[in-house]
Structure 1
């Protein structure tokens, strides 16, 4: 049996390595395949929480501890970026939603926007920044600090702005977020201890491929009803899609401008992180008990999340070329 094991694993590893080598193209393709095969949505939706936990676990498992420690020596920048993404963004979104009457007029959309703003950055943000040649270590440390705070900040803003719009209390939301993050961190720590950081780094490409497969499971689960919604209410669905792109690139642009003094490349990396919100974490914490409009908006956000890194590659390349010269 031991002699046949490498042969048995060789083909799956080759497939995973090929997927991992596709980079931002693979991430972009995921969203179109998920939308094109809606029947997979119903099949994979029961596994949404497991997919989110796996994505979190893989991200924690790949944390570069040396880079983490080095950035902790410059706490001012990390603290400012963390405050912006965990406090500044949800506070501004909440105030705008209330001032414009969106909370009363379109509660499902208001809930979606608040949950999006309250969420921590996506765990895949450092990997996407690295694929684009941006400063992944700065993104990593800010991601870690933001994720550590989000159970508390999300609970605070849920109490301030959401009232009874959520199916769970703000305290329950915070505790669930804390439990999900703690479970993922413990599993990742166990994997690092069993296999070692060197082995994880050595198998970086197939792990990237596995990440893309799990991203597909998540995208398919959340986007299962997109085609039927598009047919039933095309203008509303396209409007939510346009809104999701507008919010994504607004967050990206504002963050890049706010932090431009640290260099355009590093500011863009932070902008990418702030605009890539971990909606899966909120879905897991609320057990998916959300209004149809909230679900549909979450589905629409998958398009900018998956397409933007590919769209931004030319800008990232120009910044890298400028840095070399």
Structure 2
């Protein structure tokens, strides 16, 4: 039985990337299952963080840290620059006209660190994911410092948690996940972890499936009750992700195109689930709906942008040669 489970996890790990895009549609198609899974969203986020820390390639990060200027610039832009630009847009349109629920959604979508699957998406596109990996880990580390600052700026008293409370909740999630991963790494050993990489990938896919299904709670009902509004909100989440991606691509165009795209894609795929878990999984209805439909661009953009990436990076290679 154990061998069968191990073989199943390994198979999922090797072939499960395409299943991730399908998982969000499973959640929409099975609303009762999504409602059942929703209480486990926080646990799935914690487990995904633990696996992400467990799989961190320390050698790859060390290589990137030898030339830290690009990494530091990308980190500053991702965790402060992009959210502050969003704050500027909120001030331009007027916080009162947007409403606190939509402002909270914009905060979650721009102040969160990148999803820890971002390096995997970069590798899926045929690019080097080490810069994305280093950036994702660094962004996670600074989130308890930057997110409360941005939250206080954007929302003030409307922030669901106090600034200190948000910092503590984020720190508990991150430190706890790191501690568990550290203990597992010591117990298993590096050699065994390397041998079971496909099994860990399979478990990661299953946890992402649980997360995606849980996140879709209420989406089917919203599509049925207000299809135009829900489609419009989904379109806005794509627009926000693409704006972050394109602005980052332009900003880091002096770097190599492969590095610029790795930073841009990482910036455009935010780990909103971490912020939701920090808030205890309770959000206003509109904010939750944004978070839910905001998973569509995260899971679908790697497939949609693959032709663009091939042309974009090929032009860079031709210029070099």
Question: Which interval holds the TM-score relative to the shorter structure?
Answer: over 0.9
CA–CA distance in structure 1, aligned partners of residues 93 and 312 of structure 2: 38
Is the Cα–Cα contact under 8 Å of residues 257 and 313 in structure 2 kept in the other structure? no
1:226 matched to 2:200:
no
* Equivalent pair of 2:116/2:136 in contact (CA under 8 Å): yes
- Aligned partner of 1:36 in structure 2 is 29
What CA deviation, in whole Å up to 9, does each residue of 1:23-68 have, x standing for no partner? 5412211111121111111111111111000110111101111111
1:144 aligned onto 2:137 = yes
Shift of residue 289, structure 1, vs aligned partner = 2.4
Stretch moving more, 77-86 or 163-172: 163-172
Please state whether the residue corresponding to 1:261 is helix, strand or coil: coil
| Equivalent residue number for residue 256 of structure 2 | 263
1:201 aligns with one of 185, 194, 203: 194
Aligned length: 318
Per-residue CA deviations over 1:291-317 (Å, capped at 9, x if unaligned) read: 100000001111111111122233344
Give the distance between the partners of 1:148 and 1:60, measured in 2 at CA.
Answer: 11
Which of the residues 181, 185, 209 maps onto 1:216?
209
- 1:125 paired with 2:118, answer yes
Within 5 A, what are the aligned runs for 1:1-325?
A: 8-318=1-311, 323=317
RMSD: 1.7
Cα distance per residue 1:121-156 (max 9 Å; x no partner): 111111221222222111111112111111011111
- Structure 1: 4+ residue segments shifted above 6 A: none
Answer yes or no: is the 8 Å Cα contact 2:114–2:271 preserved in 1. Answer: yes
Contact 1:120/1:147, CA 8 A, preserved across alignment: yes
- The alpha-carbon deviation at position 320 of structure 1 amounts to 6.3
TM-score (normalizing by structure 2): 0.94
- Distance in structure 2 (CA, Å) of the matches to 1:303 and 1:105: 23
Moved more, 125-134 or 34-43: 125-134
SS for the counterpart of 1:33 is: helix
* Worse overlay, 103-112 or 231-240: 103-112
Shift of 1:105: 3.3
- What is the CA distance between 1:201 and its match in structure 2? 2.5
Q: What is residue 3 of structure 1 aligned with on the other side?
A: none
Whole-angstrom CA distance in 2 between matches of 1:11 and 1:321 = 42
Q: Point out where structure 2 has 5 or more consecutive residues left out of the alignment.
A: none
- Decide whether the 8 Å contact of 1:134 with 1:316 is kept in 2: no
Calculate the TM-score normalised by the size of structure 1: 0.93
Distance 2:314 2:156 in 1: 49
Distance in 2 separating the partners of 1:111 and 1:185: 27
Structure 1 residue ranges without an equivalent (≥5): 1-7
Distance 1:234 1:118 in 2: 28
